[in-house]
Amino acid sequence: MPAMEFGSLWLPVVVSAVAVFAASSVIHMVLKYHKADYKPFPNEEAARAGLGGGALAPGVYVTPHCPDMKQMSDPAVQAKYVKGPVALVTILPNGLPAMPKYLGLWLGFCLLVSFVSAYVARHTLRPGDMGAEAMRVTGTVAFAAYGVSRILDSIWHGQPWSNTLRQMIDGAIYAFVTGLTFRLLWPS
């Protein structure tokens, strides 16, 4: 049987990306269970003054800073870690959040995940295959991108596992939406 034309998958790619974008809007604007993701500093103004005093450029900063793992054996460096705080801090550009930019990038990411899901499905399935198979393949790929990938934030960036669990729940929802869209729009 000849390979499936990728053009036959553009509709489910675009529709699933838009559907995930809409689902994420509902999750963040209506359900609001992500409010627990961020905690305020106990003394926010003192923290802001301390961080702002260095005129930090946008980026990710770490304290204590130890660019060479050999320095970890230095008692002075070890004392900094023991005394604390140990932190990763992301500094964003000054000004109000650029929501149109962030939402555009999020939609672009949703399109990328749907495109990769379609690519894998195109090479593992055929036109006319059961829609359930399309849902299984595309949903699994989407869950790897939206959900499983978030585990790294807890492993390497100190994000609380409860945050990661909420993000993985979102990822499962987005994967279901992606898979269901491909199931409904799978070429016959």
Q: Tell me the per-residue pLDDT of 162-182, one tens digit each, with 9 for 90 and over.
A: 999 999 999 999 999 999 999
Specify if 1 maps to a domain: no
Tell me if 107 is assigned to some domain: yes
Identify whether 113 is part of a domain. Answer: yes
Cβ-proximal residues to 188 (8 Å cutoff; 6+ apart), any chain: 127, 128
Give the pLDDT score at 6: 72
- Percentage of the chain exceeding pLDDT 90: 85
What predicted TM-score, i.e. pTM, was given to this entire model? 0.89
The DSSP bridge partners found for residue 89 are 61
pLDDT band at residue 23 using 50, 70 and 90 as cut-offs: very high
Residues 60 and 142 in one domain: no
CA distance 28 to 48: 26
52 or 100, which is more confident: 100
Does position 95 have pLDDT exceeding 80, yes or no? yes
Token couple for 49? 């003054």
Q: What is the mean pLDDT of residues 28-40?
A: 93
Q: What's residue 46's pLDDT?
A: 93
The one-character DSSP state at 187 is: -
Mean predicted confidence (pLDDT) in 16-25: 98
Dist. CA 129–CA 112, nearest whole Å: 23
Residue with tokens 């198979």: 133
- Per-residue pLDDT reduced to its tens digit, 132-147: 999 999 999 999 999 9
Question: Sign of the CA dihedral 104, 144, 115, 16?
Answer: negative
Do 16 and 53 lie in one domain? The reply is: no
pLDDT interval class at 130 (50, 70, 90): confident
pLDDT digits (tens, 9 = 90+) for 36-73: 999 999 999 999 999 888 889 999 999 999 888 899 99
Q: What letters, b where the CB count within 10 A reaches 16 and e where it falls short, cover 132-161?
A: ebbbbbbbbbbbbbbbeebeeebeeeebee
Looking at the 3D structure of the chain, how many domains does it have?
2
Name every residue whose Cβ is closer than 8 Å to that of residue 148 and which is 6 or more positions away in sequence. Answer: 168, 171
pLDDT at residue 3 in the model: 60
Distance CA 80, CA 72 (A): 10
Token pair for 27: 């999750």
Same domain assignment for residues 77 and 145: no
Q: Which domain holds residue 129?
A: 6-38+96-185
32 and 73 co-located in one domain: no
Average pLDDT score, the chain: 93
Q: Taking residues 75-83, what's their average pLDDT?
A: 94
* Of residues 94, 22, 32, the one with CA closest to residue 58: 94
- Tell me which residue has tokens 């959040």: 97
82: amino acid identity, one letter: V
Same structural domain, 134 and 60: no
CA dihedral 111, 113, 114, 120 (to 10 degrees): 140
